[in-house]
């Protein structure tokens, strides 16, 4: 017995040490940093107004003097229009960043080499971003195309299959692995469902996933707050497989799935995905615990795009939260400015994809065209320094939304979000969905 206790103590110590190491690892920063500060606190300027940047190189939070700095400035994701090199004699350099003649973003990048190690950093600043308009065109049959697509999907028997996952259940909610037939006979989408255990009627929230091929865990934060939640995958793969299966698919047959059948709007990869999100709502609204009224959708990156698309396709959605949405204004690169993830028309991919049929297909799946038809109130959030979903691409989608909307810009963030972003948006979503819900019988 004593030996078992010793083993248990050692195991707990090992777990604690591992957690400490992980926590420390996630907070690691370079010892030397390039710091770039715009001269406007909100990083935002009017078109025609000149921006400038203060650049410092610090080590141990102390500015380094007499280091050679190179810098580049130009439109976001485009070829720099200004380059320079300077020795930081006093540890600080002020660089004039110029302006823009039309709404958009410019990037200032600084690079140094210290003790043989290269360091770099960049900052994006906006010029009248609230005036950015889409380059993506709205097809004349956009609405009819999606109405017909959803009609076809509705004819497929859902055949829901729920499997209890006892090891994930809590006193507050039960957890199930869910399979739903979708798109065509024998084709499925999968998700992880949380249902409150207490008797009553509850709001429901669909969590849509970011890009990649991976297990999508249960949405437990909202479940703990008293909501039915469904976190889905998009690839028709069960979410209970060994972890290496997803990695093998990510690097194999599903590599670059966002480009599959881009030349055919009827068979493009995301046709199945977009309608799969609507099918997930169909399922949620059949649950006896659902309150029949309060339905939300939330996601980030690809999930941010899917949240907006779902809200546009289905009027049952009463609230939407989208973080740094992908798939926005995809054709921006064809008009001399940044476009959204997956960058299908950027310089690297233009030779393959800049073809009339592929450009046309992109218009049917571009989030900006769905954003025009969102009716539900929404809370949106992103940063200016996002290298994956450029703000140049996200603002056009936000700007065309006519439904009630709020935007939280965490300027310095990249393709990630802060605790404040999560807290504010989650609290807003709960307020929208829980205020009219009956939580007990």
Mean pLDDT by 10 residues, the chain (441 residues): 47 45 52 96 98 96 94 98 94 96 98 96 98 98 98 94 98 98 92 97 98 95 97 97 95 97 98 97 98 98 98 98 98 98 97 98 98 98 98 98 98 97 97 72 43
pLDDT at res. 46:
98
The question of whether 244 is a catalytic residue gets the answer no
Distance CA 88, CA 35 (A): 13
pLDDT at res. 413:
97
Distance CA 179, CA 191 (A): 7
CB 194 within 8 A of CB 211: no
pLDDT at res. 435:
78
Distance CA 309, CA 397 (A): 11
pLDDT at res. 238:
97
CB 227 within 8 A of CB 251: no
DSSP-derived pairing of the beta strands 173-181 and 188-196: antiparallel
What's the CA dihedral at 221, 300, 438, 292 to 10 degrees? Answer: -140
Which one is catalytic: 301, 362, 381, 437?
A: 301
Distances (CA, A) of 279 to 156, 176, 207, 282, 314: 10, 17, 13, 5, 10
The question of whether 264 is a catalytic residue gets the answer no
Spell out the SS3 assignment of the chain.
Answer: CHHHHHHHHHHHHHHHHHHHHHHHHHCCCCCEEEEEEECCCCCEECCCCCEEEEEEEEECCEECCCCEEEEEEEECCCCCCEEEEEECCCCEEEEEEECCCCCEEEEEEEEEEECCEEEEEEEEEEECHHHCCCCCCCCCCHHHHHHHHHHHHHCCCCCCEEEECHHHCCCCEEEEEEEEECCCCCCEEEEEEEEECCCCCEEEEEECCCCCCCCCCCCHHHHHCCCEEEEECCCCCCCCCCHHHHHHHHCCCCCCHHHCCCCCCCCCHHHHHHHHHHHHHHHHCCCCCEEEEEEEEEEECHHHHHHHHHHHHCCCCCEEEEECCCCCCHHHHHHCCCCCCCCCCCCCCHHHHCCHHHHHHHHHHCHHHHHCCCCCCEEEEECCCCCCCCHHHHHHHHHCCCCCEEEEECCCCCCCCCHHHHHHHHHHHHHHHHCCCCCCC
Is the sign of the CA dihedral 415, 343, 150, 182 positive or negative? negative
Structural domains in the chain?
32-131 (2.60.40.1930), 142-434 (3.40.50.1820)
pLDDT at res. 67:
95
DSSP-derived pairing of the beta strands 202-207 and 228-232: parallel
Which one is catalytic: 182, 363, 411, 415?
A: 415
Q: How many residues in the chain?
A: 441
DSSP-derived pairing of the beta strands 68-75 and 202-207: unpaired
CB 231 within 8 A of CB 214: no
Distance CA 320, CA 299 (A): 9
CB 379 within 8 A of CB 351: no
Q: What's the pTM?
A: 0.92
Cβ count near 88 (within 10 Å) = 18
Cis peptide upstream of residue 234 (ω within 30 degrees of 0): no
- Which token pair is 345? 């028309």
Which is nearest to 332 in space by CA: 384, 367, 292, 300?
367
CB 406 within 8 A of CB 379: yes
Which one is catalytic: 386, 393, 411, 437?
A: 386
The question of whether 263 is a catalytic residue gets the answer no
- Which token pair is 426? 């989650």
Write the CB contacts of 258 (distance below 8 Å, at least 6 apart in sequence).
211, 269, 270, 341, 342, 344
Distance CA 125, CA 112 (A): 21
């Amino acid at each position: 017995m004593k030996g078992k206790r010793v083993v248990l103590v050692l195991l707990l110590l090992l777990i604690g040490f591992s957690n400490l190491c992980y926590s420390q690892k996630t907070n690691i920063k370079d010892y030397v940093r390039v710091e770039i500060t715009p001269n406007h606190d909100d990083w935002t300027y009017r078109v025609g107004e000149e921006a400038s940047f203060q650049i410092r190189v610090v080590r141990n939070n102390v500015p380094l003097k007499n280091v050679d700095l190179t810098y580049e400035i130009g439109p976001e994701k485009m070829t720099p229009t200004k380059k320079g090199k300077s020795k930081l004699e006093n540890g600080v350099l002020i660089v004039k960043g110029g302006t823009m003649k039309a709404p958009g973003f410019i990037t200032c990048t600084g690079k140094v080499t210290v003790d043989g190690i290269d360091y770099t950093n960049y900052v994006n600043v906006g010029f009248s971003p609230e005036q950015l308009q889409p380059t993506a065109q709205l097809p004349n049959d956009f609405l009819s195309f999606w109405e017909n697509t959803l009609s076809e999907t509705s004819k497929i028997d859902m055949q829901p299959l729920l499997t209890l996952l006892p090891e994930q259940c809590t006193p507050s909610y039960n957890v199930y692995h869910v399979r739903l037939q979708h798109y065509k006979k024998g084709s499925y989408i999968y998700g992880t469902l949380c249902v409150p255990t207490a008797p009553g009627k509850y709001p429901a929230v669909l969590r849509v996933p970011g890009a990649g091929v991976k297990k999508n865990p249960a949405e437990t934060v909202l479940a703990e707050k008293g909501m039915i939640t469904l976190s889905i995958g998009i690839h028709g793969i069960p979410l209970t497989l060994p972890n290496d299966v997803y990695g093998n698919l990510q690097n194999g047959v599903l590599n670059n799935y966002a480009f599959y059948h881009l030349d055919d709007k009827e068979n493009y990869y995301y046709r199945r995905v977009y309608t799969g999100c609507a099918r997930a709502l169909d399922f949620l609204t059949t649950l006896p615990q659902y309150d029949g009224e309060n339905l939300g959708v939330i996601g980030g990156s690809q999930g941010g795009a899917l949240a907006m698309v779902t809200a546009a396709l289905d009027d049952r959605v009463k609230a939407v939260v989208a973080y740094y949405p992908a798939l926005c204004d995809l054709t921006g690169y064809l008009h001399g400015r940044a476009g959204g993830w997956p960058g299908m028309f950027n310089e690297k991919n233009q030779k393959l994809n800049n073809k009339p049929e592929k450009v046309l297909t992109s218009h049917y799946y571009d989030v900006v065209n769905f954003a025009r038809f969102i009716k539900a109130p929404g809370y949106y959030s992103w940063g200016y320094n996002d290298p994956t979903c450029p703000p140049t691409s996200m603002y056009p989608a936000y700007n065309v939304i006519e439904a009630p909307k709020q935007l939280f810009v965490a300027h310095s963030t990249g393709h990630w979000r802060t605790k404040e972003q999560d807290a504010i948006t989650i609290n807003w979503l709960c307020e929208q969905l829980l205020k009219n819900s009956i939580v007990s019988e």
